[in-house]
Amino acid sequence: MPGQTNVKTRANHRSSAGPLDEFFRLLRANGLLSTIRRIRSFLLLKLHKNLVDRRHEGRESVATSAVIEIEPDMVVGANAAHAVHYSPTPRKVFKWLMECVPLDIRQCTFVDYGSGRGRVLMAAARLPFRQVIGVEFSRELHDDARKNLATMPRALKRAQGVRSINADAATFEIPQGPCVLYFYNPFTGNVLDAVLKRISNARAERETELYCVFFNMENLAGIEMRYRFERCKLPFWPGLKLKLFAPYTYAVCLVLRQDRYQ
Ligand SMILES: C[S@@+](CC[C@H](N)C(=O)[O-])C[C@H]1O[C@@H](n2cnc3c(N)ncnc32)[C@H](O)[C@@H]1O
């Protein structure tokens, strides 16, 4: 039975409106196209959860699937206002995204920015990365991730080192060497800006490549233009699976070398 913690899950906040009320509310607020997109996302998330992710939950020390609101008293640092809630990446989506990274990952460090309860860390640990690092500012979610990593069967771990760090991502230094930097919509505003500038500056000072993998990020085109990230063409099969079954937008981007930001 997965462990329980005290964090507030999204279900506690849910209103009593029925699905039809919710549909008309969305339609009024967002228009038809956006409502269809949201319904597609909702259905695909359910599909991933029920067909794939639920099967893994019994093996997790703390179940990773809840949606959790982030409150200021849960976190280290003062950036709770820029945080998006915790929710986990569907396992298959993460697998397909990693199949799209055009690097020899045995030389690479993988970083999950906002690693939550560690689902992505466990999935990345199954791949032969040189090291896997999660940065999570919620004390409780970071503790949950540590429990999950500690109880993961040794035989499944192919990465050489795996750890969760309890820190604000805005303060995290990019590790040396080639890196795959993963973002599942963790934060917005000044925090996102500070982190992406840091990545761009790190690339300005080194020869080795950096790739950013984005899932459900707003304004991806704007991010690419502003920080000079070049979107990669995805290989056929994982690209097709993502096109059909990813609930949200995604991109694999090479960080181009440019002058440092001041
Ligand atoms: C959408 S969840 C993604 C969880 C995990 N990466 C995954 O894909 O399964 C975003 C996470 O980012 C964390 N987060 C938000 N702002 C942060 C910050 N400034 N520093 C570190 N973590 C942050 C939240 O606490 C939350 O756990």
Q: What is the mean pLDDT of residues 96-107?
A: 97
What pLDDT digit, counting tens, does each position of 206-247 carry? 999 999 999 999 999 999 999 999 999 999 999 999 999 999
The amino acid that residue 213 corresponds to is: V
Query: What values do phi and psi take at 38, rounded to 5?
Result: -65, -40
pLDDT of residue 15: 55
Lowest model confidence (mean pLDDT) among 35-39, 44-48, 144-148: 35-39
What's the pTM? 0.93
Residue 191 Cβ contacting ligand 1 at under 6 Å: yes
Residue 118 Cβ contacting ligand 1 at under 6 Å: no
Nearest Cα residue to atom 26 of ligand 1: 86
pLDDT of residue 12: 45
Q: What is the mean pLDDT of residues 45-55?
A: 95
What pLDDT digit, counting tens, does each position of 115-167 carry? 999 999 999 999 999 999 999 999 999 999 999 999 999 999 999 999 999 99
Domain ranges for the chain: 1-262
Residue 185 Cβ contacting ligand 1 at under 6 Å: yes
Nearest Cα residue to atom 9 of ligand 1: 88
Residue 145 Cβ contacting ligand 1 at under 6 Å: no
Query: What values do phi and psi take at 133, rounded to 5?
Result: -130, 130
Residues 6+ apart with CB under 8 A from 99: 235, 237, 238
- Report percent pLDDT > 70 for the chain: 94
- The CATH code belonging to domain 1-262 is 3.40.50.150
